[in-house]
Amino acid sequence: MLTRIDHIGIACHDLDATVEFYRATYGFEVFHTEVNEEQGVREAMLKINETSDGGASYLQLLEPTREDSAVGKWLAKNGEGVHHIAFGAADVDGDSEEIRGKGVRVLYDEPRRGSMGSRITFLHPKDCHGVLTELVTSAPVESPEH
C-alpha cells in the first residue's frame, strides 16, 4: 500500500524567498518547479533523498496563484507552515478506495494530476487526526535514450 513519505507540503507567501531560505540554510536545491493552474499554486520540489522503492522524498513549497485556491485560503487562515503530508502509494486508485472502505473521507472521486505528472488524491484532515494527507502515485520514470 503506502511506500514512503513522498513529500511534506509547505505553504508560503513568497516561493522565491522560501526556496532561498531552504537553499541557504540546509543546502536543498530545487529539483522541479511548475504552476498547477487547477490547484492554483506555483510550486517548487526540493529533493531530500532517494528512497528504496526507486522514488524520492521532497519538500514541496507552495505559493498560491490566486486567493480562492485551497492553499490561498489555508494560508490566509493559518499563515505559512506545514500544509500537508504526502505518502507514496503504489496504486492511488486502489489504495484510496481501500482507505475509503475504512471510513476515511477521500476528497476527490477520481485522482487528479499532481506534481511531475503524478496522480494524487487527498484524505480529509478531520479523519486523519487533523492532518491533511495526500496519496501520490509517481509518474513512471522514463528510461534515458541511448
**Alpha-carbon span 23 to 12, nearest angstrom:** 15
Catalytic residue among 39, 63, 83, 84: 84
Catalytic residue among 39, 43, 63, 83: 43
Catalytic residue among 7, 110, 124, 129: 7
39 carries an active-site annotation = no
**Alpha-carbon span 104 to 97, nearest angstrom:** 10
Residue type at position 132? L
Catalytic residue among 32, 50, 60, 110: 60
- In this structure, how many other beta carbons lie within 10 angstroms of the beta carbon of residue 129? 7
84 carries an active-site annotation = yes
Which residues are 82's β-sheet partners? 10
The three cell numbers locating residue 20: 532561498
7 carries an active-site annotation = yes
83 carries an active-site annotation = no
Q: What is the side-by-side order of every strand in the sheet holding 30-36?
A: 30-36, 41-50, 56-64, 2-11, 81-89, 133-137, 119-123, 112-113
First-residue to last-residue Cα distance in the chain: 34
Tell me which residues are annotated as active site. Answer: 7, 43, 60, 84, 134
